[in-house]
Amino acid sequence: MNMAFNLNNSYKQKAFTLLEVLVALAVLTMGLGTVIKVAGGQASQLSYLKDKTIALWVANNKANEIQLATWPSTGTSTGHEFMANQEWDWKLKVSNTADKDLRRLDIEINRSNEEGEPVVRFIAFTGKNSSKSTRP
């Protein structure tokens, strides 16, 4: 009788039960859901960093234009730039500093026709060019 019991018992463990399969699928689904969520977050972050980088280039170019031009007058101005197949709006505020030969440049960059917080806020300084040459 013991022999018959052992034979029946060995045949019972050859396949998974339906409950075991459902639990395994549930665990797999949760794991894949997390992977998809993380991948989506990475894609969103990549787009944000791309926009931030391009906006910094626009701001840096604007600051260099002003620094290479004549002494800027104080006040606010706005304009548009086209870079990386996108149009960007910039706002420039030129203000005095404690040093009379130094001006502060506050530059804000947004995507064209978008309101709200700027993509980039950039601060630069420009000095007054001396009309006297100090070279020998």
**CA 79 to CA 109: how far, in whole Å?**
10
pTM above 0.85, yes or no: no
37: CATH: 3.30.1300.30
Q: Is residue 6 a part of any domain in this protein?
A: no
Of 2-16, 72-86, 101-115, the range with the lowest mean pLDDT is: 2-16
In a domain, 25, yes or no: yes
| Full residue range of the structural domain in which residue 70 is found | 19-127
Cβ neighbour number for residue 9 with a 10 Å cutoff: 9
Asked if the structure places residue 134 within a domain, the reply is no
Does some domain include residue 93?
yes
pLDDT in tens, 9-61: 555 567 778 888 899 899 988 888 888 888 777 777 888 899 999 999 999 99
The domain total for the chain is 1
Where is pLDDT greater, at 61 or 136? 61
Residue 3 belongs to some domain of the structure: no
